[in-house]
Amino acid sequence: MPETSRRHLLLGGAAVSAGALLTACTSNEPKAAGNSSPAGSAVPAADDKPGTPVTIGFAGPQADHGWLNAINENAQRRAEKYSEVTLEITEGSNDTATQIGQVQTLINKKVDVLVILPADGKALTQIGLQAMKAGIPVINLDRIFASPQAYRCWIGGDNYGMGLNAGNYIGEQLKDKPNATVIELAGMDSLELTKQRTQGFDDALKNYPNIRKVARQAADFTVESGQAKMAQLLQAQPKFDALWNHDDDQGVGALRAIAQAGRKDFLMVGGAGAKSAMDAIKADTSVLKATVLYPPTMAASAIDLARALGQKKGIGGMSELEIPASITLYSAVVTKDNVDEYLPTGFS
């Protein structure tokens, strides 16, 4: 997430997507009554009245994780909704040099707009600057470039808010329990987003003096790492009241380790919003009681923003003639009470 001194547009209740604001994106006309997305679509449909043809270049990292694969799928499905949009999509890579080369190819093709989810925001800043200097506006998706000059608009998740909301949910569940203890299964500590999620979680717990965090273990966002690191935590902590797991993919492994250990004496909160997590929350037969969203639907919204830029239009529902400079998505907490609302956004 960008530095806190930057001004962001907070999309409070729009955690299903950036949809509340982008629903009439690229249209200066009122939204038609009854306009809705087809079953299974993650994001409410934007105004699909054809406009000026736009070629959008999309470059993301390798889809070696459920969330990243959902990013690609959301972008492709959204582009298919618009007859005038052509999507030039790269294979994706976690190697920065390869991704730079892929973006360079899109620049050479003279696409109208670029949507880039960089494998490393800092490392790809120069290619973002190059595109902007070439007159190709850039939508910077999630992992932010080091300079605001490298993008026209940033849209992404709120990592600090994700941790904050997870901590507040756990705090409310345990606020009446004396000497409550919690543990944390984090993501990769080499990533800034992991540090932000932990900071948000720790800050939330400061509001609950009866709760103490007694252990933290970093994993690698994979099923295997989640299972291995969770097994270590369970062995080291024979008793605790709640667990926050940063990532639902590694949470699959964590739940395996919990089941193998026969543990049912605590509640678990996940992160990101995988369909498997939402299904488990709805079934209510495991320790997993909630997950905090980090919506991959941001990629669909990025396509809407790119289309708006290419057609020189603003966003319906806002008075401004231009799209915003940044949009931070809200990290809603999904529980058994509201899971049916969010299930369509769950990713595999």
Distance between CA atoms of residues 285 and 98, nearest Å: 44
> What phi and psi, each to the nearest 5 degrees, are found at residue 245?
-110, 125
Mean pLDDT by 10 residues, the chain (348 residues): 34 37 38 34 57 96 87 95 96 92 97 96 97 98 96 98 98 98 96 95 98 97 96 97 97 98 97 96 98 96 97 89 95 98 93
Distance between CA atoms of residues 309 and 259, nearest Å: 49
Distance between CA atoms of residues 72 and 74, nearest Å: 6
Q: Are 217 and 185 in contact (CB under 8 A)?
A: yes
The pLDDT assigned to 64 comes to 81
Tokens matching residue 110? 């003279």
Other Cβ atoms closer than 10 A to 73:
17
Q: What pairs with residue 89 in β-bridges?
A: 58
The pLDDT assigned to 47 comes to 61
> What phi and psi, each to the nearest 5 degrees, are found at residue 25?
-55, 140
The pLDDT assigned to 48 comes to 65
Distance between CA atoms of residues 31 and 326, nearest Å: 23
The pLDDT assigned to 344 comes to 93
DSSP label of 345: G
Domains plus CATH for the chain? 9-157+295-331 (3.40.50.2300), 159-293 (3.40.50.2300)
Q: Are 330 and 158 in contact (CB under 8 A)?
A: yes
94-99: which pairs have CB atoms within 8 A and are 24 or more residues apart? 94/61, 94/62, 94/64, 94/119, 95/119, 96/120, 96/123, 96/124, 99/59, 99/61, 99/124
The pLDDT assigned to 34 comes to 35
Q: What pairs with residue 270 in β-bridges?
A: 291
Written as one letter, the residue type at 226 is: G
